[in-house]
Chains A and B, each alone.
Chain A
Amino acid sequence: MKKTLAVLLAGILCAGMLAACGSSASTSSEPSPAEAGTAAEAGAGEGRTFTVGFDAEYPPYGFKDEGSGDYTGFDLEMAEELCKRRGWTLVKQPIDWDSKDMELGSGAIDCIWNGMTFTGREEEYTWSDPYVDNSIVIAVNADSDIQTPADLAGKIVVAQSGSSALTALTDDPGDGSNDENLALAASFGNLEEIADYNSAFMQMNAGVYDAIAVDIGVAQYQLAANEGKYRLLEQPISTEQYAIAFLKGNTELRDQVQETFNEMAADGTVLKIAQNYTDFNLPDMLIVGK
């Protein structure tokens, strides 16, 4: 009796492992970004899946909708429209932001479309044309005595790890172009990293941090959701642009996406989607289709 049970369990185990292997094998037959990019498969675009990697804790660009529970956001709505026009099947894949390069490099996702900062990362990915002008700002508690970046001296500042705000404060291109921000960062008591901005705001509210370096769109989402708790310093620490990132060298997929994106910009669809996010200032930040 026990023996039969053990054999049965072992059988299930083997079946499970086989099923797992089978699925990974069948995966290889699906069109993938690298194949689509290298093999001449321009015509094979119809009906393919288009997997967008995004950070689901990054409103308003990608987040979980309260009503439907689906993932939505400015960038994901644009991806939906783009896939509809191209006849592609959209897969919205929330990812661990720190693993984004591995996800993209292994072909697990086709692109990163999630308020992805183009400025300063030009050489690392194959990019679409930039579509949003973003600023990196400093958010502080409403009752804080910090008024200008100079007041941040000796304070504890936090930014999301792998974020453009962190890059802006730590990147040293060696040509002096970022010296001002590096000097600013050096004046901080400490520059800390955190996994997501939502925790950063909660912790600042609780007194752990004095200030947060953050993209203006995200900052405005937090300000709108917690009225009167936080405010922004007037002077942004840097300005940058957002674009869609593809695996370096995957120009074929980029060109297909860019073509449809340009159509969407030209007929006003991009602006229309941005207007769903007026609370976050997105229509003003848009640099195409206006």
Chain B
Amino acid sequence: MMFLSIVRQIIGGFGTTLLLFFFTLLFSMPLGILFAVARMSKFKPLQMFMQVFISILRGTPLMLQLIVVFFMPFYVFGLKLSTGWRLYAALIGFSINYAAYFGEIFRAGIQAVPTGQREAAEVLGFTRMQTFWRIVFPQMVKRVVPPVTNEVITLVKDTSMAFAIAYAEMFTMAKQVAAQMSNILPLFVAGIFYYVFNIVVAGIMGMIEKKLDYFE
């Protein structure tokens, strides 16, 4: 009975975690490609800027980045903050942070494609865009699936950091239920939720990996 009550209350927070997870992935993946391309740009200032930018994103706590994104409109621009802004700030903070990691993974994937292929494409009259999207990108996608899976699984668990800016996701709910019941069980129930969700994520990523493995 108590267990059911805990599950019912935690499910309420699962939606907010899912929302944060899904939209962060949706935004950070394309942004990661942009980061990777900019990081490899032949235009030195852009390349240097991206190098420093990614280094800061990877070198400072995500929790701090969330706080900066959430409070910046007020402390820098004097805008008023609302409760609705919490979700957007969390999405922006998570997306940019994860884009930095994805960007580096994508860069590795892109650079793993032999230069000879690029040269061949040039000889065959492909434009640079065509070369990237038709030759380099598909091969990069295949190669980066395992490290991307790692990041995606980490993201599921990292969503619990969003409470730094008072976005009440699932783990916050679990802590609140634990305080209400004065019992540690809700935290374990939340742990089961994360684990099951991650098994599903790993399963889907495994399927994608298999499907992309078309040359084996």
Contact = CB atoms under 8 A, between A and B. Distances in A.
Contacts of B67: 99, 102
B74 interface: yes
B27 A13 contact: yes
B71 A58 contact: no
B79 interface: yes
Contacts of B168: 56, 94
A20 interface: yes
A221 B79 contact: no
A17 B42 CA distance: 27
Contacts of B176: 56-57, 63-64, 94
Interface string B73-104: 11100011111111011011000000000000
A20 B88 contact: yes
Interface in B158-189: 163-166, 168, 172-173, 175-184
B81 A106 contact: yes
A66 B79 contact: no
A96 B75 CA distance: 18
B91 A16 contact: yes
B74 A59 contact: no
B144 to A, nearest CB: 15
Interface string A139-155: 00000000000000000
Contacts of B30: 6, 9-10, 13
Contacts of B177: 64, 66
A32 B183 CA distance: 38
A122 interface: no
B9 A12 contact: no
A9 B102 CA distance: 15
A202 B166 contact: no
Contact of B83 (A2, A56, A99, A108): A108
Interface string B136-170: 01100000000000000000000000011110100
The prevalent SS among residues of B at the interface is helix
A43 B84 CA distance: 26
A267 B39 CA distance: 67
Contacts of B75: 106
Chain B: interface size category: 35 or more
- Residue among B30, B73, B92 having the largest count of chain A Cβ atoms under 10 Å: B30
B14 to A, nearest CB: 13
B9 A108 contact: no
Interface string B117-141: 0000000000001000110011000
- Residue among A35, A58, A108, A221 having the largest count of chain B Cβ atoms under 10 Å: A108
Contact of A102 (B71, B82, B134): B71
A221 B178 CA distance: 13
Interface in A1-60: 2-3, 6, 9-10, 12-13, 16-17, 19-20, 23-25, 27-28, 30, 32, 34-35, 51, 56-59
A156 to B, nearest CB: 20
Contacts of B129: 3
Given A94-B172, A222-B182, A69 B9 contact: yes
Contacts of B12: 69
B88 A23 contact: yes
A153 B142 CA distance: 63
Given A10-B34, A66-B5, 8 more contacts: A12-B26, A16-B26, A25-B79, A32-B80, A56-B168, A64-B180, A202-B184, A225-B183
Name the 4 nearest CB pairs between A and B, nearest first: A57-B179, A225-B182, A20-B88, A27-B82
Interface of A: 2-3, 6, 9-10, 12-13, 16-17, 19-20, 23-25, 27-28, 30, 32, 34-35, 51, 56-59, 63-66, 69, 91, 93-96, 99, 102-103, 105-108, 196-198, 201-202, 221-222, 225-226
Interface of B: 5, 8-9, 12, 23, 26-27, 29-31, 33-34, 67, 71, 73-75, 79-86, 88-89, 91-92, 129, 133-134, 137-138, 163-166, 168, 172-173, 175-184
28 contacts: A2-B137, A6-B33, A9-B26, A13-B27, A16-B91, A20-B92, A23-B88, A27-B79, A27-B85, A56-B168, A57-B175, A57-B178, A59-B179, A65-B180, A66-B180, A91-B83, A94-B166, A94-B168, A95-B166, A96-B166, A99-B164, A99-B165, A108-B81, A108-B82, A108-B86, A197-B179, A221-B182, A225-B183
